[in-house]
Amino acid sequence: QVQLVESGGGLVQAGGSLRVSCAASGRPISNFAVGWFRQAPGKEREFVAAVSRIGSFTAYADSVKGRFTISRDNAKNSVYLQMNSLKTEDTAVYYCAATPSDTIYRTPKKESEYSVWGQGTQVTVSS
């Protein structure tokens, strides 16, 4: 089974940028589609972005489209989320998740489609 560890969260001012990382171990991340989700205080966890096995296909929530970019480096067994033009409403715990994928185009958007989750990293955007 693959294990996921997020890092790179922190405190940033509105309008700033931050990159969070998801490091995989145990199995090659190239076998998995990977997604980022977030959960703000008092709210349900929501989809942010997903990337297919080899990075050819991506999907984004409307709220982050044009500001966030998901990417992956399978050689480093890692997936990244570059967050630009951050807003206070982006404040949340960010989780990466992985699911085995037999296809190169799959970009799951539902929590139920993912079988492995990291512990999360806190991102706080101040005004």
Question: pLDDT tens digits for 59-85?
Answer: 999 999 999 999 999 999 999 999 999
Q: pLDDT value at position 41?
A: 93
Q: pLDDT value at position 55?
A: 87
Report CA-CA distances (Å) from 8 to 12, 43, 57, 108, 123. 11, 22, 24, 23, 9
Q: What is the pLDDT of residues 8-23, one digit of tens each?
A: 999 999 999 999 999 9
Q: List 65's β-bridge partners, or say none.
A: none
Q: What is d(CA 121, CA 70) in angstroms, rounded to the nearest whole number?
A: 16
